[in-house]
Structures are given as structure tokens and as C-alpha cells.
A and B are shown apart, each in its own frame.
Chain A
Amino acid sequence: DAKTTQPNSMESNEEEPVHLPCNHSTISGTDYIHWYRQLPSQGPEYVIHGLTSNVNNRMASLAIAEDRKSSTLILHRATLRDAAVYYCIRGEYGGSQGNLIFGKGTKLSVKP
């Protein structure tokens, strides 16, 4: 049970915005939503995370639904270097455990 649901793959054109959706309908009130991406032959790389409010950083924006059951990662202008697998993850911090369980991710292809 990955606890998040993402499309297997998406395509985008270079320099266009990309919206990567994620469903996490069973999220609890203290779980953060994390996004990581993994380029081929590399370890995952942190993109962004948030709890309730929308978040922005130099890499992306994270839009979190008001009921927190879904979120969207927004890449404002896709580049070829953004082609990667994007993972949406619930950060579960109940009790003494605190770890990130990866779901299957979305493979993003970017066309020139």
C-alpha cells in the first residue's frame, strides 16, 4: 500500500508548464506531502514539501487541495533536464517512526 496514487507517465513539451497530480485520500492531519525526483542512474533528489499551504521554491510549486486529499506539483517551465521519475510521498510521523515510503511515481518525458 503506497498510500499515494500517481499517473504512471506524463508527457510535456519543453518550456511549457507541467502539472503532476497526486492523490493521497487517506492522509492524516500530521502527514507532510513530499516530492522527490529521480533522474536515470542517480539517487532521488528533493523537490519540495508542504503540509497545508501552497509552497514555492526555485525548483517548483506545490499546490495542496483544501481537504489535503490531493496535491499537484507544478514545474513552471519544463526543460529537458526535468525528464525524470517524480515521486509523491506521504511523510508519516506517527509514534517513534518517521520515514518516507515511496509510491510508484510518474515518469515525466519532456519533448523538445
Chain B
Amino acid sequence: DAMVIQNPRYQVTQFGKPVTLSCSQTLNHNVMYWYQQKSSQAPKLLFHYYDKDFNNEADTPDNFQSRRPNTSFCFLDIRSPGLGDAAMYLCATSRDRREKLFFGSGTQLSVL
């Protein structure tokens, strides 16, 4: 059974049109992460939530925001997607910061 679920698997949006990606978890983990992975590159951490505490990476563009309305769900909002934002977006969870990560299968975002 999937424990970290990302929907949709593929998302197409238009240049400049806001888009939201979703992630849910059945593990009741405290920490939820969003990574961006471009083709043939390593995943890049955008931000993470420790419970309700939001932690942004210093080089994450302002165009990317996140919401965590409850323990189970976390959303990635891209306010004005550019062509350079086309990538795989990976959600991950961990019980605590020093614990191993569980990844979802990712959402492949295309920007037209």
C-alpha cells in the first residue's frame, strides 16, 4: 500500500498559470519535504515542514510556496510557472529529522 501519495502523476500547466501539486501520507510522520528534480539531475530540496514549522531553503525561489493544513497533507504551489520549472516534484516524509525518508512517486510537471 502506498504510504506517500502524490497526485496527479503527470501535470500540464501553461506558462504563468498557477498550479498546485498535492501530497498525502498515511504514516503520521512529523516532517514533510518537497524536492525538485530536473532531468538527469539530483533531487533539490525546496523546503520542509516539521509539524507546522515551515523551513525554506535559502535558494528556493519566491515563486514556490507550500501549505500544510494538517499532518496528512502538504501542497506545493507554483504561483507563476516558467519553462524552467518543468521537473519532477517529489514529496517525502520522515518521522523526525534524523529518520529515514519515504518518498512518493512524484508528479511530473510540464509547462507549455
Which B residues are CB-close (under 8 A) to A32?
Answer: 98
- Are B90 and A99 touching (Cβ within 8 A)? no
Contact with B along A38-59 (1 / 0, CB 8 A): 0000111110010000000000
Residue count of chain A within 8 Å CB distance of chain B: 23
- Are B97 and A2 touching (Cβ within 8 A)? no
- Are A46 and B102 touching (Cβ within 8 A)? yes
Residue count of chain B within 8 Å CB distance of chain A: 25
In the assembled complex, A90 has its CB within 8 A of some CB on chain B: no
In the assembled complex, B55 has its CB within 8 A of some CB on chain A: yes
Which B residues are CB-close (under 8 A) to A45?
Answer: 103
- Are A103 and B101 touching (Cβ within 8 A)? no
Tell me which residues from 4 to 47 in chain A have a Cβ below 8 Å from any Cβ of chain B: 32, 34, 36, 42-46
Which A residues are CB-close (under 8 A) to B42?
Answer: 2, 87, 102-105
In the assembled complex, A65 has its CB within 8 A of some CB on chain B: no
- Are A102 and B43 touching (Cβ within 8 A)? yes
- Are B97 and A99 touching (Cβ within 8 A)? yes
- Are B33 and A99 touching (Cβ within 8 A)? yes
Given A44-B43, A99-B48, A101-B45: A93 and B97 interface contact (C-beta under 8 Å): yes
Tell me which residues from 67 to 108 in chain A have a Cβ below 8 Å from any Cβ of chain B: 87, 91, 93, 96-105
- Are A102 and B101 touching (Cβ within 8 A)? no
Tell me which residues from 87 to 104 in chain B have a Cβ below 8 Å from any Cβ of chain A: 90, 92, 96-98, 100-104
By beta carbon, the residue of chain A nearest B97 is A98
In the assembled complex, B105 has its CB within 8 A of some CB on chain A: yes
5 residue pairs A–B, Cβ–Cβ below 8 Å: A45-B103, A49-B100, A98-B31, A99-B55, A102-B42
Interface residues of A (CB under 8 A from B): 2, 32, 34, 36, 42-46, 49, 87, 91, 93, 96-105
Interface residues of B (CB under 8 A from A): 4, 31, 33, 35, 41-45, 48, 50, 55, 57, 90, 92, 96-98, 100-106
